[in-house]
């Protein structure tokens, strides 16, 4: 597994240009998949890509 396959909440905040609470809202609403590793929340990069593609599809 590559280091960049799992992102931190801060990484996702930077990629999506949103705040921390929005990232957690997306996780809670299951629009972003995440896992916990010893209490640390990690988001697969593929989940972020899928979210962006879904948003682009809805905007079209």
Check pLDDT > 80 for residue 1.
Answer: no
pLDDT digits (tens, 9 = 90+) for 19-33: 999 999 999 999 999
Check pLDDT > 90 for residue 60.
Answer: no
Q: Are 12 and 33 in contact (CB under 8 A)?
A: no
Please tell me the predicted confidence (pLDDT) of residue 40: 96
pLDDT digits (tens, 9 = 90+) for 28-59: 999 999 999 999 999 999 999 999 999 999 88
pTM: 0.87
Rounded Cα distance between 6 and 20, Å, is 17
Structure tokens at 6: 């799992």
């Amino acid at each position: 597994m590559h280091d960049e396959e799992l992102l931190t909440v801060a990484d996702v905040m930077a990629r999506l240009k949103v705040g921390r609470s929005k990232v957690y809202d997306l996780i809670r609403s299951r629009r972003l998949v995440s896992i916990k590793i010893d209490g640390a929340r990690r988001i697969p990069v593929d989940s972020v890509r899928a979210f962006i593609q879904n948003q682009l599809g809805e905007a079209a």
